[in-house]
Amino acid sequence: MIESWRTPDGRWLVDRVVDEPAVSYRIWYEGTPVGDLPDDPGALRAWLAARHVDLAELVALPADEDPFCE
């Protein structure tokens, strides 16, 4: 199961990565990958906050709406 979240405006997308040992989250901005983070929700929150994105505002995407879902 792939988990993805996006900002309400659709500019930011956060994917939960399951097949790369050192990466747990991949962040996209307007379709371009901009960051990979380890399994640390605090690091994810800090990374997004530094870019003025509130983790609480992210909306979960169903797998059939995830543009990067295989």
7-51 pLDDT, tens per residue?
Answer: 999 999 999 998 888 899 999 999 999 999 998 889 999 999 999
Q: Does residue 21 form part of some domain?
A: yes
Residues pairing with 33 in the sheet? 28
**Residue 56 belongs to what H/E stretch?**
none
Tally of domains within the chain: 1
Predicted model pTM: 0.81
Residue 68 has pLDDT above 60, yes or no: no
Instruction: Note whether residue 60 is domain-resident.
Output: no
Residue 48 lies in a domain: no
Question: Would residue 12 count as lying in a domain?
Answer: yes
Domain of 21, in residue numbers? 1-39
